[in-house]
């Protein structure tokens, strides 16, 4: 009599399953920690919240995915019918207890995820009011509310296909300069179609709806140069509609303001206009597009070629 | 054996169409036989799969390098718009209508669909709107190029100002496609409700029938919203009305509500029948009953109901208020519950089975594996803070291709192989089938798995050019896409050669349980004709020794004699 025969098959099943669950848990934990490296650098207050939530879901997702595909893999290895064997498998039709378990467990899981993300939403609160606005008219000035005295206010104006950032000091820029660790308030405005205000390093995105002014706020937390991309398809030169966000120390930011406010306005960054001109020179081949809006007049056209992280 | 529970006049009038040819020509005319219509749909759709795939490969050709160097960006935008439109409206919806047409009447023991002429009309609208859509490649200014969402104001900008423009033809084609789908939905729902074989109560219907019913009810509830939205868009584009035009006081976000109220459920319209195919095939090839038949059946309607209240998850960053985002996040995540019930039931069905890994089963297993992955990224996307980062990036593109190709198209291939012998009377070549599966699985994984990372890093979808840091993911994806193109060769070879010179198929080559397998291959014109079987038990009683119908032996020997 060898040792194998003495072990109760039920006990060995429990040991086997516990071992598999343990391995699955370890791998899921590893995957969750690894998931941080799949994302750009964290450059805003929102980023760590989003990344933690993503890691949490990556962990749960990995556990479920490996659990399910582990069973499928097991079956593929050990339950394959030999050639010409058409005999039946074990004919069990179901198990109500098991059904209830796998209805309730996912239910609790999604409730947990939903509560967690609702909390994150409440913490972040990036989106402010949305008010109707006639884009043909001048922008209304900020009302004298208490907020107006504290913090930085920038108007983001999006067009087909360029960005313009208007600073309260009365100048414009093609690149978005922001002071570090300070809450910045935006008014997002589109002059034509829907655009998306998306900064991957900030983990933030907001559609800009023509006919509305959307208030938005965020706090950058890391110095560096990041990409701002149009994320909502906006027509022919959509993919050219990107610029840089420069997060700098408060002093450097102030210095930039003092320097830029004295500059003479020039044509702003307008990659689409450049490409469209080239297209016209080559005989206007391709399918129809509306012509890009003229370059905004800005005091600092920026440098689109400076290296960006994320 | 002549008891039927529906009015026989429904199907005895003009059936078949007098003088309809009984050779290959029947596939090219106005034929009212659901089996002919089914094959018409499937073949038409497969041709459009090739076209949509070609457009996809052109897109991947452009994206293999960061700059926009293969096409002008305007051309790229038209190509990706048409790729999405062709794949959804000319491939997926028609091919699923085709499978539904082929399978519903034999599976429920009906001689044909409830409204055969309406059925034929619904099919013949497909070539009509396809031609309308493809004509737009040749009108001045090119085809629609605002994405398959056609969000205004981009979609109503009409650069050349002509009345006849690509976007206008696109809207007309989508409207006609909606009309065709509504005709089909009325037919499928009526047929399933009124024309089932005696004894086939709702809880004795095959799961495929359950899922078709759940999906087609969704069509009837959702399509009017899309069609209404499309008509308003048409007026804004061509007659200067201001439903959605902000310059004249319209609201562009309103269109997004109309669009997604249908277009999100549309995904479930497509995936539900595929769940049905999985539920038919896993028991057959595991030689086991379906685990928890009743739960799987009812879960289909759980999905239908929930899918009507999730559409705002496409609008988490359009200025939607916080309470609404939280609400729709929760409803969206809840879909994981009925879907999970199905997934776990399929896995439990495999457990302890006696698995036969032929081509249809391989596509099913591949589809299930991919679906679990796509479902998990789906829950991630439903999470508001994550969606705000990855929404409108390649993460979404990768996710929905995991659902729409790696799950739905896999399920469709599984279904085509599984029922191929039944409806053509010929066996397919297993070897070519396995080559097709292997190339498809590897190609699809290479194509869409890496793109998740491009999206996480912030690569927006729909771009014609991108920053060089995304290049590596795009190179792998393009290689996968070209591999998928190659995968179509063994498939076409297999289908054409098997149908013309394959081995004759017996009535029930897979030893499967279901009314369709009690018929000769291919089934006669009116399926069971006057001998409609009486259903006794739930389907999928593999190994349980419970006959599915009264006097099963009679039907088995009759089918053998008639083959």
Residue A196 has pLDDT above 90, yes or no: yes
Q: Look up the CATH number of the domain holding residue B404.
A: 1.20.210.10
User: Which residues of chain A does B331 touch, with a Cβ-Cβ cutoff of 8 Å?
Assistant: none
- In sequence order, the 6+-apart residues with CB closer than 8 A to the CB of B13 are none
Chain B contacts of A239, Cβ < 8 Å? Answer: 68, 73, 460, 462-466
Provide, as residue numbers in chain A, all residues whose Cβ is less than 8 Å from the Cβ of B376.
57, 61, 64-65
How would you class B516 by CB atoms within 10 Å of its CB: exposed for 0-12, middle for 13-18, buried for 19 or more?
A: buried
Report if residue B26 sits inside a domain.
no
Which of A57, A102, A232 lies closest to B379 in CB terms?
A57
Inspect the interface and report whether the beta carbons of A209 and B319 lie closer than 8 Å: yes
Lowest mean per-residue pLDDT among A223-237, B23-37, B303-317, B541-555: B23-37
Residues in CB range of A115: below 8 A, 6 or more apart? none
- Would residue B523 count as lying in a domain? yes
Mean pLDDT of A76-105: 89
Which among A87, A91, A107, A126 is the top mutation candidate for probing chain B, defined by the most B β-carbons within 10 Å of its own β-carbon?
Answer: A91
Inform me whether the pLDDT recorded for B1 exceeds 50. no
Is B4 within the bounds of a domain? Answer: no
DSSP 3-state assignment of B87?
helix
Q: What whole-number percentage of chain B has pLDDT above 70?
A: 96
Across the range B356-382, mean pLDDT stands at 97
Rounded to whole angstroms, how far apart are CA atoms B80 and B60? 10
Residue A227: its H or E element: strand A224-230
Rg (CA), chain B: 23
Q: What is the pLDDT of residue B525?
A: 86
Residue B2 has pLDDT above 60, yes or no: no
> Which of A53, A88, A286 minimises the CB distance to B354?
A88
Q: What integer pLDDT is reported at residue B13 of this predicted model?
A: 44
Segments forming the whole domain that contains residue B92: 36-562
* Least Cα separation, residue A240 to chain B (angstroms): 8
pLDDT at A149 over 60: no
Torsion over CA of B338, B339, B345 and B351, rounded to 10 degrees? -150
* B257-275: average pLDDT: 96
Q: What's the CATH number for A127-298? A: 2.60.40.420
Taking the alpha carbons of B334, B387, B85, B372 in that order, is the dihedral positive or negative? negative
Q: A interface mutation test: which of B388, B399, B451, B509 has the most A CBs within 10 A? A: B388
pLDDT of residue A83: 81
Q: For B462-513, how does the pLDDT look when each residue is reduced to its tens digit (9 = 90+)?
A: 999 999 999 999 999 999 999 999 999 999 999 999 999 999 999 999 999 9
Q: Which of A87, A212, A288 sits opposite B159 (nearest CB)?
A: A288
- Portions of chain A given CATH number 2.60.40.420: 127-298
pLDDT for B88 beyond 80: yes
Q: Which residues of B touch A71 (CB under 8 A)?
A: 347, 350-351
Of the partner residues B295, B392, B456, the one whose CB lies closest to the CB of residue A196:
B392
Residue of B nearest to A59 (CA): B376
How far is C-alpha B491 from the chain's CA centre?
18
Contacts of A287 in chain B (CB under 8 A): 72, 74-75, 77-78, 141-143, 145, 166
DSSP A193: S
The pLDDT of residue A144: 46
- Calculate the average pLDDT of chain A: 91
Note whether B103 and B419 are within 8 A (CB).
Answer: yes
Residue A91: what pLDDT? 84
> How many domains in chain B?
1
* pLDDT band at B6; cut points 50, 70, 90: low
Specify the pLDDT at position B24: 76
pLDDT digits (tens, 9 = 90+) for A261-297: 999 999 999 999 999 999 999 999 999 999 999 999 9
The closest alpha carbon to B458, from B473, B447, B477, B446, belongs to B473
Residue B414: inside a domain: yes
pLDDT band for position B20 (50/70/90)?
Answer: low
Range 122-161 of B in CB contact (< 8 A) with A: 140-143, 145-147, 151, 153-154, 157, 159-160
Q: What is the pLDDT of residue A3?
A: 53
Q: Lowest-confidence range among A2-11, A171-180, B524-533?
A: A2-11
Q: Whole-angstrom Cα distance, residue B418 to residue B117?
A: 28
Per-residue confidence at B417, pLDDT binned at 50, 70, 90? very high
Residue B189 lies in a domain: yes
**Is the Cβ–Cβ distance between B425 and B521 less than 8 Å?**
yes
Nearest to B355 among A75, A230, A286 (CB): A75
| Residues A205, B391: C-beta atoms closer than 8 Å | yes
């Amino acid at each position: 009599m060898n040792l194998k025969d003495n072990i109760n098959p039920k006990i060995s099943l429990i040991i086997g399953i516990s071992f598999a669950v343990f391995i699955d848990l370890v791998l899921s934990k590893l995957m969750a920690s690894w998931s941080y490296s799949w994302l750009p650098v964290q450059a805003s207050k929102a980023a760590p919240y989003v990344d933690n939530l993503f890691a949490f879901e990556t962990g749960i997702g990995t556990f479920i995915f490996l659990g399910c595909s582990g069973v499928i893999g097991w079956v593929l290895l050990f339950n394959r019918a030999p050639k010409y064997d058409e005999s039946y498998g074990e004919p069990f039709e179901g198990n109500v207890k098991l059904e209830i378990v796998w209805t309730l467990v996912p239910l609790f899981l999604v409730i947990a995820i939903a509560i967690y993300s609702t909390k994150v939403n409440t913490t972040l609160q990036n989106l402010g009011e949305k008010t109707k606005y006639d884009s043909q008219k001048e922008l209304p000035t900020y009302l004298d509310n208490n907020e107006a005295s504290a913090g930085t206010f920038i108007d983001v104006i999006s067009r087909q296909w360029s960005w313009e950032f208007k600073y309260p000091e009365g100048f414009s820029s093609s690149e978005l300069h922001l002071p570090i660790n300070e809450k910045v308030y935006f008014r997002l405005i589109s002059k034509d179609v829907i655009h998306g205000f998306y900064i991957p390093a900030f983990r933030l995105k907001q559609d800009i709806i023509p006919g509305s002014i959307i208030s938005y706020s965020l706090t950058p937390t890391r110095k560096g140069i990041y990409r701002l991309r149009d994320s909502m398809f906006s027509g022919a030169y959509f993919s050219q509609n990107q610029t840089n966000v420069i997060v700098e120390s408060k002093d450097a930011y102030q210095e930039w303001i003092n320097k830029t406010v004295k500059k003479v306005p020039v044509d702003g960054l307008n990659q689409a206009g450049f490409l469209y001109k080239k297209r016209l020179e080559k005989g206007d081949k391709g399918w129809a597009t509306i012509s890009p809006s003229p370059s905004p007049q800005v005091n600092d056209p920026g440098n689109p070629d400076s290296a960006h992280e994320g | 054996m002549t008891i039927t529970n529906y009015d026989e006049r429904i199907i005895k009038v003009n059936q078949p169409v007098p003088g309809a040819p009984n050779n290959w020509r029947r596939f090219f005319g106005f034929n009212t036989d659901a089996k002919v219509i089914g094959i018409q749909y499937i073949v038409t759709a497969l041709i459009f799969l090739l076209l949509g795939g070609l457009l996809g490969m052109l897109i991947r050709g452009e994206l293999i390098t960061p700059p926009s160097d293969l096409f002008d960006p305007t051309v790229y935008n038209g190509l990706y718009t048409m790729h999405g439109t062709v794949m959804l409206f000319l491939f997926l919806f028609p091919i699923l209508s085709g499978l539904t047409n082929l399978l519903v009447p034999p599976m429920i023991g009906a001689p044909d669909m409830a409204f055969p002429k309406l059925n034929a009309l619904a099919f013949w609208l497909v070539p009509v709107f396809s031609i309308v859509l493809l004509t737009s490649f040749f009108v001045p200014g090119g085809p629609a190029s605002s994405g398959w969402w056609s969000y205004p104001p981009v979609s109503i900008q009409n650069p050349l100002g002509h009345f006849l423009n690509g976007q206008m033809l696109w809207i007309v084609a989508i409207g006609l496609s909606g009309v065709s789908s509504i005709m089909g939905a009325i037919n499928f729902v009526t047929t399933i409700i009124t024309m089932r074989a005696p004894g086939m109560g709702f809880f004795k219907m095959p799961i495929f029938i359950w899922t078709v019913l759940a999906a087609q009810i969704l069509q009837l509830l959702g399509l009017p919203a899309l069609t209404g939205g499309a008509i308003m868009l048409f007026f804004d584009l061509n007659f200067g009305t201001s439903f959605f035009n902000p310059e004249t006081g319209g609201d562009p976000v309103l269109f997004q509500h109309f669009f997604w109220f249908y277009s999100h459920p549309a995904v479930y319209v497509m995936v539900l029948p595929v769940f049905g195919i999985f539920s038919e095939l896993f028991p057959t090839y595991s030689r086991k009953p379906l685990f928890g038949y009743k739960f799987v059946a009812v879960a289909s309607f759980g999905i239908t109901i929930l899918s009507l209240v999730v559409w705002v998850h496409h609008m988490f960053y359009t200025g939607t208020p916080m309470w609404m985002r939280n609400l729709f996040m929760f409803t969206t995540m809840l879909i994981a519950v009925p879907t999970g019930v199905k997934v776990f039931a399929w896995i439990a069905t495999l457990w302890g089975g006696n698995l036969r890994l032929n081509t249809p089963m391989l596509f099913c297993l591949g589809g299930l594996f991919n679906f679990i992955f796509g479902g998990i990224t789906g829950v991630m996307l439903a999470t508001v803070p994550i969606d705000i980062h990855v929404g409108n990036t390649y993460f979404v593109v990768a996710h929905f291709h995991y659902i729409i190709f790696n799950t739905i198209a896999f399920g469709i291939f599984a279904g085509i192989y599984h029922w191929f012998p039944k409806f053509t009377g010929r066996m397919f070549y297993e070897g070519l089938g396995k080559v097709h599966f292997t190339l498809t699985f590897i190609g699809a994984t290479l194509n869409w798995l890496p793109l998740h990372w491009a999206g996480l890093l912030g690569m927006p979808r729909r771009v014609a050019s991108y920053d060089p840091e995304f290049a590596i993911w795009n190179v792998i994806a393009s290689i996968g896409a070209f591999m998928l193109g190659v995968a179509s060769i063994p498939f076409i070879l297999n289908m054409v050669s098997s149908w013309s010179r394959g081995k004759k198929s017996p009535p029930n080559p897979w030893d499967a349980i279901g009314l369709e397998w009690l018929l000769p291959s291919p089934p006669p014109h009116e399926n069971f004709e006057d001998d409609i079987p009486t259903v006794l038990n739930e389907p999928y009683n593999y190994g349980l020794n419970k006959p599915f119908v009264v006097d099963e032996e009679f039907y088995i020997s009759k089918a053998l004699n008639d083959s």
